[in-house]
A and B are shown apart, each in its own frame.
Chain A
Amino acid sequence: MPQVYFDHASTTPISSVALESFIEQSKLVGNPSSLHSNGRLARKKVEESRETLANLIGCHSSEIIFTASGTEANNLAIKGIFWHRLKEDPKRKLILISSFEHHAVLDPALWLGESGQAEILMINVNKDGYIDLEQMESVIKERHEEIALISVMHSNNEVGTIQPIKEIAKLAEAYKIPLHSDAVQSLGKVKLSFKDLGLFAMTVSAHKVGGPVGVAALILKKGVDITPLLHGGGQERDIRSGTINAAGIASFVSATASAMRDMEGNYQKVFALRSKLISTIQGQVSDVRLNSPLEGEILPGIANIEFPSTESDSMLLLFDAEGIACSTGSACSAGVQEASHVLLAMGRSQAQARSSLRFSLGISNSESEIEYLEACIKRVIDRARAAYRG
């Protein structure tokens, strides 16, 4: 049975250059913070990688803080910026986020809210998956003196829509409000420049771009202080402590460089596969509804599709049994699938959200895999419908 991987938004296969780079660097001993020659050699690789990444994503190398995960970088951004702003001005207790952020942004913000430190205001998104700029503008105008920070994802991980970050940055800039953006899904897939976007902070992660799991970065505008979360050796600009992951960083940057070098071609290839996937599914299951826009400001590979009168966990099991990996994209609580907060924020009903699946394609996919899906999807959906509990 073929194994078909349609879950690239969850994690990507490691690219050969990234794997090579990881193995190469792992062979060398030396803590990048050590002063001896082994340490210096490791540090050299880290700093070269930092400079390369800075060039790739339009920031200064000193603006990169490497972390162990995108979640850590998002927590550092949300909590670190919030606490620092609050210390400077106790009135600034308001955090604005979009209502369909990834849990790695949503949950630290909600935690600050629930623990009584912050007020969280979620800006609506429309049915197509784009943030309501008018609401954002009016809240900023009305409450700018209270706003500690704004965080809006660069692209949504479940439906693939790219958000108007530049416009939000302009609105925030007028009142000198820091704007953070979780860009883990965008890196290597679409144009991404920290400087051009006018951001204060941005999160990127290795394993969504063909790099290894366990390394990510927060890009933080120069000259800005934030409150650290991890205290220790202060290895990363005294903001993030922990031994620097030289092999992970080298591999992360190799993967990013490779993805960005081939970005346009990859976009076209993956987007064409996505279009074929959507038309194939529509051809086999006539009543499906798209949760992702068909085209426009979107990532190339994410197609979120509702299969009415099904439950996503039945479909996942049945697709898995056919060798096809896909996802709901939503978080699990003890493994129990909950209705996606992203789709609910986009105005879908509980039933609609529970009957939706995310297929996320990448450069490793091929047309023949979509043809294989075509051969089994009807059987899967028929059975999922028979098992539907209504």
Chain B
Amino acid sequence: MKLIAAMSGGVDSAVAAARAKEAGHEVIGVHLALSKNPKKYRSGARGCCTIEDSHDARRAADVIGIPFYIWDMSDEFHENVVENFLAEYAAGNTPNPCLRCNEKIKFAAVLDRARAMGFDGVVTGHYAQTKDIDGQRLLYRAVDSGKDQSYVLAVLNQEQINGAHFPLGDTTKDDVRLEAKSRGLSVALKPDSHDICFVPSGDNAGWLRERLGSQVGDIVDEAGNKLGEHNGAYTFTIGQRRGLALSVPEKTGEPRYVLKVEPVNNRVVVGVKADLAIHEVSGLSPIWCGPKPSGQKSGFIQVRAHGSAHSCKYFLDESGPLPELKAVVDQPIYGLATGQAMVIYDGDRVVGSATITGTK
């Protein structure tokens, strides 16, 4: 096959590209430039879009022996990921930009471009697996459960999964590093990126404040009593405990958590942990990574990138104007923010996902 390997300059995508080439594919390495002004998003970033990262990617491509190019995806990235991130926070939601980037950039803009140019698909260094079963390509968790990235890939539809290649899904991160070393890749020991790549300082709240402005608002309990003040409701996430600085203590002495973020009146509602308990999760715009489920099924729901899976019953509710994915969990989940993705698993297989719009 002819494949485009998306190379961030990190160890995973370098080994993925090398494995794809070794498997006999015709591979071309591409580094995605996500900002026109390298100093804008990239300065000091430990993510995947500094100039040094692009040099690392180029060097890895040289060592692997594949052609290498840089694709300017900065307009697409800004429009679909950065602006969406800001808009979602401004609306009181907690978006996951990596998911969005996979859905709109890596496996949409890049895959579309690759296909138009005569390539068959895109190789990435994600830790996830695809398996061809009964003529259908399905998405599965990685073997390395600590590194599993199937959650952030659960936004891919069948067409996108058909063009996706994840050569690292059967390997642990430690082994990938060893392999990189034995292949002579200088990125073998490069640290993992954890931050949001376009918030290089890692200070998410500060980055949001700079762009959305800061406006003093109230922190209240569920009865509406004022307990303190904040500098902008959008910097809070449901389930958050730190950084509340409340002046009125809870009578029982229990710690308090963000229960609700109300961007319209710039209010943050707090309460005790028990108030965070969620029994039912619903989400709009479901995406199926395999066959669309019918009726009620038993499975697992995951609501954070590296969170645990909770057993649940799930079903697609098509009674309303828009189809809704609903999951009733066997044990309550605590602190769930709208805007995050709910990902449904059938064992290790990714069934699909939806953006959380409601919790009960």
Q: Which residues of A pack against B, CB within 8 Å?
A: 313-314, 316-318, 320-321, 333-337, 383-384, 386-389
B118 on interface, CB distance cutoff 8 Å: yes
Given contacts A334-B54, A334-B70, A387-B112, 8 further A-B contacts (CB under 8 A): A313-B69, A314-B113, A314-B117, A317-B28, A320-B67, A333-B36, A333-B38, A383-B117
Q: List 25 A-B contacts (CB under 8 A).
A: A313-B69, A313-B70, A313-B71, A313-B72, A316-B69, A318-B117, A321-B28, A321-B67, A333-B36, A334-B51, A334-B70, A335-B70, A336-B36, A336-B70, A336-B72, A337-B72, A383-B116, A383-B117, A386-B116, A386-B117, A387-B112, A387-B113, A388-B116, A389-B76, A389-B109
Measured between beta carbons, the chain A residues less than 8 angstroms from B116 are 383, 386-388
List B56-74 residues whose CB lies under 8 Å from chain A. Answer: 58, 67, 69-72, 74
Please determine whether B118 and A383 come into contact, CB atoms closer than 8 angstroms: yes
Size bracket, chain B contacts: 20 to 34
Measured between beta carbons, the chain B residues less than 8 angstroms from A334 are 33, 38, 51, 54, 70
Measured between beta carbons, the chain A residues less than 8 angstroms from B31 are 335
Please determine whether B117 and A387 come into contact, CB atoms closer than 8 angstroms: yes
Please determine whether A335 and B33 come into contact, CB atoms closer than 8 angstroms: yes
A38 and B93 alpha carbons, distance in the complex (Å): 76
Please determine whether B70 and A389 come into contact, CB atoms closer than 8 angstroms: no
Please determine whether B74 and A336 come into contact, CB atoms closer than 8 angstroms: yes
Measured between beta carbons, the chain B residues less than 8 angstroms from A389 are 76, 109, 113
Please determine whether A336 and B33 come into contact, CB atoms closer than 8 angstroms: yes
Across the A-B interface, give the 3 residue pairs with the lowest CB-CB distance, nearest first. Answer: A335-B70, A387-B116, A386-B116
Most buried by B among A316, A334, A384, A387: A334
Measured between beta carbons, the chain B residues less than 8 angstroms from A318 are 117-118
Residue of A nearest to B30 (CB): A317
The smallest beta-carbon distance between B203 and chain A, in angstroms, is: 24
Measured between beta carbons, the chain B residues less than 8 angstroms from A337 are 72
A387 and B111 alpha carbons, distance in the complex (Å): 10
User: When A and B form their complex, what is the total count of cross-chain residue pairs whose Cβ atoms lie within 8 Å?
Assistant: 49
Measured between beta carbons, the chain B residues less than 8 angstroms from A314 are 113, 117
Measured between beta carbons, the chain A residues less than 8 angstroms from B51 are 334
Give B95-138 as 1s and 0s: 1 = Cβ < 8 Å from A's Cβ atoms.
00000000000000100110011100000000000000000000
The smallest beta-carbon distance between A104 and chain B, in angstroms, is: 20
A21 and B356 alpha carbons, distance in the complex (Å): 72
A331 and B136 alpha carbons, distance in the complex (Å): 45
The smallest beta-carbon distance between A148 and chain B, in angstroms, is: 30
The smallest beta-carbon distance between A296 and chain B, in angstroms, is: 34
A384 and B72 alpha carbons, distance in the complex (Å): 15
Measured between beta carbons, the chain B residues less than 8 angstroms from A386 are 116-117
Please determine whether A384 and B38 come into contact, CB atoms closer than 8 angstroms: no
Measured between beta carbons, the chain A residues less than 8 angstroms from B71 are 313
Measured between beta carbons, the chain A residues less than 8 angstroms from B117 are 314, 317-318, 383-384, 386-387
The smallest beta-carbon distance between B330 and chain A, in angstroms, is: 46
Measured between beta carbons, the chain A residues less than 8 angstroms from B69 are 313, 316-317, 335
Residue of B nearest to A354 (CB): B72
Measured between beta carbons, the chain B residues less than 8 angstroms from A317 are 28, 67, 69, 117
Residue of B nearest to A379 (CB): B118
Residue of B nearest to A386 (CB): B116
A148 and B109 alpha carbons, distance in the complex (Å): 49
The smallest beta-carbon distance between B122 and chain A, in angstroms, is: 13
Measured between beta carbons, the chain A residues less than 8 angstroms from B58 are 335
Residue of A nearest to B53 (CB): A334
A318 and B114 alpha carbons, distance in the complex (Å): 11
The smallest beta-carbon distance between B32 and chain A, in angstroms, is: 10
Measured between beta carbons, the chain B residues less than 8 angstroms from A336 are 33, 36, 70, 72, 74
Measured between beta carbons, the chain A residues less than 8 angstroms from B72 are 313, 336-337
Measured between beta carbons, the chain A residues less than 8 angstroms from B109 are 389
The smallest beta-carbon distance between B263 and chain A, in angstroms, is: 33
A388 and B113 alpha carbons, distance in the complex (Å): 8
Measured between beta carbons, the chain A residues less than 8 angstroms from B113 are 314, 387, 389
The smallest beta-carbon distance between B52 and chain A, in angstroms, is: 10
Residue of B nearest to A388 (CB): B116
A336 and B74 alpha carbons, distance in the complex (Å): 10
The smallest beta-carbon distance between B9 and chain A, in angstroms, is: 11
List B276-312 residues whose CB lies under 8 Å from chain A. Answer: none
Most buried by A among B31, B109, B113, B116: B116
Most buried by B among A313, A336, A383, A384: A336
Residue of A nearest to B74 (CB): A336
The smallest beta-carbon distance between A386 and chain B, in angstroms, is: 4
The smallest beta-carbon distance between B110 and chain A, in angstroms, is: 11
A387 and B76 alpha carbons, distance in the complex (Å): 14
